[in-house]
Chain A
Amino acid sequence: GAVVSQHPSRVICKSGTSVKIECRSLDFQATTMFWYRQFPKQSLMLMATSNEGSKATYEQGVEKDKFLINHASLTLSTLTVTSAHPEDSSFYICSARTVTLPSGGQETQYFGPGTRLLVL
């Protein structure tokens, strides 16, 4: 299947600082990537849809100025949490939609391993 990576896997930062999370599709090109947030014992919540070369589309209630998304290439999308606060502490997960896979396989969304953010 398709592989999606995230970096870093875990980050601890002070309140007020900004944190950048990278999401990469390793063996396929992804014109569309998605960012989710997951709090403990809860399901994934879609934050935004990231399209290569255009502005991200944010879900209702998600502040676009706080969660900056950049999708500059077909294999990389970044999420920057600006002026992070303790309530932003969460598990952030990206996914990438496959269009075609060189090795065959299913067109669907593949998820990264997630990034655990802790804001002190």
Chain B
Amino acid sequence: LAKTTQPISMDSYEGQEVNITCSHNNIATNDYITWYQQFPSQGPRFIIQGYKTKVTNEVASLFIPADRKSSTLSLPRVSLSDTAVYYCLVGDFTTGGGNKLTFGTGTQLKVEL
């Protein structure tokens, strides 16, 4: 299973763009990169998933370079409610893939006024 490395914590202010980078040097060919958000005493919430290049949805963007050894989650104009732990994971979601996800330490994002 590919291991991921993220910063332990990040601080930001409301209205700023936040970029959280994750490294996954031994990512496998079939692995997808997925980001989750977790609030205290809640299950992780799916944010975004990608395989390569750039993916964008209504809440975030995910940038993946050509070598796929890292990825960057971009949160535009964060608010206080974005204060949470963000996990970067890689896993095989192809048909027949193991789908097992190994959670790293995650990044505690703190947003202040």
Q: Is there contact, CB below 8 Å, between A111 and B44?
A: yes
Interface residues of A, dominant DSSP: strand
Complex A-B: 27 CB contacts under 8 Å: A6-B43, A34-B99, A34-B101, A43-B87, A43-B103, A43-B104, A43-B105, A43-B106, A44-B44, A44-B103, A45-B103, A46-B100, A46-B101, A49-B100, A91-B41, A106-B46, A108-B32, A108-B93, A109-B34, A109-B46, A111-B36, A111-B43, A111-B44, A111-B45, A112-B43, A114-B41, A114-B43
Cα of A17 to Cα of B72 in the assembled complex, Å: 45
Give the distance in Å from the alpha carbon of A45 to the alpha carbon of B91 in the complex: 15
A sample of 14 more A-B contacts (CB under 8 A), given A95-B44, A108-B93, A113-B43, is A34-B100, A36-B103, A44-B87, A44-B103, A45-B103, A46-B100, A93-B44, A97-B93, A97-B99, A106-B46, A111-B36, A111-B44, A113-B42, A114-B43
**Distance in Å: Cβ of B65 to nearest Cβ of chain A:** 21
Secondary structure dominating the interface of B:
loop
CB of A108, distance to nearest CB on chain B (Å): 5
Known contacts being A43-B105, A44-B103, A107-B93, is A93 close to B41, with CB within 8 Å? no
Closest CB-CB distance, A53 to chain B, in whole Å?
A: 16
Q: Which of A77-117 contact B (CB under 8 A)?
A: 91, 93, 95, 97, 106-114, 116
Taken together as a complex, chains A and B put the C-alpha atoms of A114 and B39 apart, in Å, by 11
Chain A neighbourhood of B41, CB < 8 A? 91, 114, 116
Chain B interface residue bracket vs A: 20 to 34
Q: Is A25 an interface residue (CB 8 A)?
A: no
Q: Does A32 contact B (CB under 8 A)?
A: yes
Residue B49 lies at the interface, judged by CB distance under 8 Å to chain A: yes
Cα–Cα distance between A4 and B44 once the two chains are bound (Å):
11
Q: Which residues of A contact B101 (CB under 8 A)?
A: 34, 46, 95, 109
Question: Does B56 count as interface, using CB distance less than 8 angstroms?
Answer: no
B residues less than 8 Å from A43 (CB atoms): 87, 103-106
Verify if A61 is at the interface (C-beta below 8 Å from B).
no
A93 to B100, CA, bound (A): 14
- Tell whether B102 is near chain A: CB-to-CB under 8 Å: yes
